[in-house]
Amino acid sequence: MKKSDRGAVIAGNWKMNNDRVQTRELISGLKPLVESADCDVVICVPFTNLETALNETAGTNIKVGAQNCHFEASGAYTGEISAGMLKELGVEYVILGHSERRQYFAETNSTVNLRLKAALKENLNVIVCVGETLDERENGITSEIVSMQIKTALKDVSTEQMQNIIVAYEPVWAIGTGRTATADQAAEVCGTIRNVVSEIFDVDVSKKLTIQYGGSMNPKNCDELLSKEDVDGGLIGGASLKAKDFAAIVDSASKN
């Protein structure tokens, strides 16, 4: 299976940005710009904006995602949201294991795996994030780190469930820094991810897997990144907060 058969996914990660008014404004600006996209378009918004985003995108090609979910279905977990709660709202995607969750909220490879299994149980599409820190890259252990993150995150996941998984390769040093991985660096690690998935499952599963690059992707650098065979889309932070910029990346993915 070639890249062109996999289909690209461009997902916006709004992080902790936008109130409800801004959510409505951004979506109404985005709708006409991406309506003829030839790739999947997802916006992952703060929990409090999910319902607004679902209402505003109803009947359009824009899908809505959350930025995390808990691994238990319910119980004494103050401040957490379960996968079932997202499903009930009509949410279709969830980002898990984002490096900001790992860095600031003690997320580990094992809790990412637990959350991922809970999300799959609810039939959500999961965007699972992996990526090395600057230290790890400089020490030459990028592929070991990313392989370990993938192996742990996908533990006990079935071949069938892999259809609901997207992997986002996000080098931590490139997130929100304006410092992008070169297209070759991104392609190399995305290729490593595909190989690891092939080892865990088989070649067929690995070839069907959508792998995104994330980390300061913007309208200027997206063409080069998205032209790479193993880069099937993007997870976009900063540039997803401007309708025009996000739409330009969607256009690029539609062409590549």
CB of 170 to ligand PGA, least distance (A): 6
- Active-site residue (options: 70, 92, 98, 100): 98
When the beta carbons of 200 and 248 are compared against ligand PGA, the nearer one is 248
CB of 46 to ligand PGA, least distance (A): 14
When the beta carbons of 84 and 211 are compared against ligand PGA, the nearer one is 211
Q: Is 98 a catalytic residue?
A: yes
When the beta carbons of 197 and 236 are compared against ligand PGA, the nearer one is 236
Question: Minimal CB distance to ligand PGA: which residue?
Answer: 237
CB of 109 to ligand PGA, least distance (A): 18
Q: What is the DSSP string of the chain?
A: --HHHH--EEEEE--S---HHHHHHHHHHHHHHHTT-SSEEEEE--GGGHHHHHHHHTTSSEEEEES--BSSSSSS-TT--BHHHHHHHT--EEEES-HHHHHHS---HHHHHHHHHHHHHTT-EEEEEE---HHHHHTT-HHHHHHHHHHHHTTT--TGGGGGEEEEE--GGGTTSS-PPPHHHHHHHHHHHHHHHHHHS-HHHHHH-EEEEESS--TTTHHHHHTSTT--EEEESGGGGSHHHHHHHHHHHHH-
**Residues 6 or more apart in contact with residue 122 via CB below 8 angstroms:** 83, 84, 86, 87
Residues interacting with ligand PGA, by CB under 6 A?
Answer: 13, 170, 175-176, 214-217, 235-239
When the beta carbons of 84 and 174 are compared against ligand PGA, the nearer one is 174
For the purposes of burial, counting CB atoms within 10 Å of the CB of 74, is it exposed (0-12), middle (13-18) or buried (19 or more)? exposed
CB of 235 to ligand PGA, least distance (A): 4
CB of 8 to ligand PGA, least distance (A): 16
Of the candidates 66, 55, 60, 52, the one whose C-alpha atom is nearest the C-alpha of residue 33 is 60
When the beta carbons of 84 and 247 are compared against ligand PGA, the nearer one is 247
Which residues carry out catalysis? 98, 170
